Amino acid sequence: MQILDNPAWAALTGPQAAFADRYGRSARFPADVSMFAALDDPADPAAWHDLGALAGSGGEVLVAAPTQTPPAGWTWTGGVPGVQLVAASVAAAPDPEAVVLTGADVPEILDLVERTQPGPFRKRTIDLGTYLGIRRDGALIAMAGERMRLPGYTEISAVCTDPAFRGAGLASRLIRAVSAGIQESGAVPFLHTAATNTGAIRLYEQLGFVLRTDMEFAAYRVP
């Protein structure tokens, strides 16, 4: 299995191990950081057993992997088919209007995320990496940042723009700016989106990302 096939596990056992709650062959981020949990092999019942012990009976976990085989008794509670794209020829560049977001910005971030629905974002998600934002008249109108960090790769996430400001290229500018920071660190940018989000996929491909694999995002309740 390649490292990008199991990104959360690679992050939680690698560069982001300090965030990991671990048990046996499973791990997860703290609930206020990220919903993601991970297994060293999503096809191995023993790893799922460990994840069940980690989450506890009735606990819910979100798993990202191309294929997933939870044991009998686990309840699927939601999810979407996704895709993973990796930077191949991104024209990464800092953006003069982009500012680094901090913990003080979290209330505005959560409001923007709630209105635009780019994916899960928790109160301490910002601790995972650098998040950049663009403001107009003091208000946060667009953002993007770093979520999972793997050996050699860093995920771009939370790409979103206030609906009133869409169509101005803000998302593209922020993706290039976040990519610049990732590349400066020596890593390769990658990202995920829903398989049905053809507009986002088209944008990412235009920016120089290439489709790598399907990626299933699924939430389960532990029996």
Band the pLDDT of 64: cuts 50, 70, 90: very high
In sequence order, which residues have a C-beta less than 8 Å from that of residue 134 and are 6 or more positions away?
95, 97, 98, 99, 140, 141, 142, 143, 170, 173, 174
N-terminal to C-terminal alpha carbon distance within the chain: 28
Q: What structural domains does the chain harbor?
A: 3-83 (3.40.630.30), 85-214 (3.40.630.30)
- Is the pTM higher than 0.75? The answer reads yes
The answer to whether residues 42 and 68 touch, using CB atoms and an 8 Å cutoff, is yes
Q: How far apart are CA 21 and CA 29, in angstroms?
A: 6
pLDDT tens for residues 207-218?
999 999 999 999
Band the pLDDT of 1: cuts 50, 70, 90: low
**Which of 62, 87, 92 minimizes the C-alpha distance to 74?**
62
Residue 117 is predicted with a pLDDT of 94
DSSP code for 187: -
The answer to whether residues 1 and 41 touch, using CB atoms and an 8 Å cutoff, is yes
